[in-house]
Structure 1
């Protein structure tokens, strides 16, 4: 998929540090891009010429299906899906309340599952679905147990779905970048982040993700960044 002019991509979580960069890179290469996020103002503020914006709260059960349907309706096709939405929470497992667990699972696991379920039947042959899990899917950390478990479940989902999607000639990619300076830790839905070393440059990480998206890879572990 090196030539993406006229191809249609949906980027979910497009107002985040990585999602916004990925959406812009795809648009700059000539793709038709639908961007989705929770805030209409933030989507408008992306300033990506020609981008189709769809506001959605991924905690709502029907939101993933609606976003995919809106992208297909707008462009008449779907060639790629990037799942860049996510939330994080910090704290010992005994301190994380059920509401926080629910949000972590809804956004970090159930939303990707629902997006995949909606996208696979309508995606063009030769298409690609890429999800951004995290290094904690490989190396679960204390005081991030629930977040680590949610991301590990999502990584397992992508690995398992890959075989199913192959029959439809669709590539499924799981990328697990190391700690990146996205600001996500400072927007945690619970708890305080630990002292973290300086993370990777989000521009470099987004470039690497787009390389995987448009190439032939299916698994991009943390040590590939």
Structure 2
């Protein structure tokens, strides 16, 4: 079991529909939450910004015990009509930036483990990482790539006492689909309650789970 009381957790995408809820619920469990988001001026596509964000978090709070990557963008439309700039944006935000965050946070989280805590990283790849969706081909690919990285990197990070956890909930009732970077959202079925999705993720952190497939939601 992972104790969140007193843990320092950085939540990236903290103003989003899920990120804001996860941050709030972490605080309800006694964690100290550092928030980062594009709206707060954190353009995490730049490695130097990631380096500064992690260093600033360590400088302000003294350590880093957890990282939640809840940032993301979505695009809709036929694969044959995919614009290069859309593809670049999807992978920059959904794949490359999260991977950079995970790799650059490793020394901070490893230090937390050496001090006897149970550091963790949570990513949100979503159900499309398991079952790619027509009309969401590039988005599905960007999330599947992240999920693959987490599986492989998790085996390495485990040796340093760091747990990586990927969450893959189905369509969740946030505003993400209302603000795509391309295309228009199709009609989705019933959406998952974002408060319940966030609560399930918090429970997985506390209970030491190592994976959250779509069937867990």
TM-score range with shorter-chain normalisation? over 0.9
Q: Show the counterpart of 1:115.
A: 101
CA distance in 1, matches of 2:213, 2:168: 5
Asked whether the equivalents of residues 8 and 33 of structure 2 are also in contact (C-alpha less than 8 Å), the reply is yes
After TM superposition, give the deviation of residue 68 of structure 1 in Å: 1.6
Asked whether the equivalents of residues 2 and 208 of structure 2 are also in contact (C-alpha less than 8 Å), the reply is no
Asked whether the equivalents of residues 10 and 57 of structure 2 are also in contact (C-alpha less than 8 Å), the reply is yes
Given the alignment, which residue of 77, 83, 94 partners 2:69? Answer: 83
Asked whether the equivalents of residues 59 and 103 of structure 1 are also in contact (C-alpha less than 8 Å), the reply is no
Q: Show the counterpart of 1:142.
A: 134
CA distance in 1, matches of 2:174, 2:25: 17
Equivalent residues in 2 for 1:65-76 (5 A)? 65-76=51-62
CA distance in 2, matches of 1:14, 1:139: 26
TM-score (norm 2): 0.94
Structure 1, gaps ≥5 residues long: 41-54
Structure 2, gaps ≥5 residues long: none
After TM superposition, give the deviation of residue 2 of structure 1 in Å: 4.1
Aligned-pair Cα RMSD in Å: 1.1
Asked whether the equivalents of residues 10 and 35 of structure 2 are also in contact (C-alpha less than 8 Å), the reply is yes
After TM superposition, give the deviation of residue 5 of structure 1 in Å: 2.1
TM-score (norm 1): 0.91
Equivalent residues in 2 for 1:1-225 (5 A)? 1-40=1-40, 55-123=41-109, 124-125=112-113, 126-225=118-217
Residues 85-139 of structure 1 deviation map (CA, whole Å, 9 limit, x = unaligned): 0000011112111111111000000011100111111111120011011100000
CA distance in 2, matches of 1:59, 1:95: 24
4+ aligned runs moved over 4 Å, structure 1: none
Asked whether the equivalents of residues 65 and 114 of structure 1 are also in contact (C-alpha less than 8 Å), the reply is no
Question: Is the helix fraction higher in 1 or 2?
Answer: 2
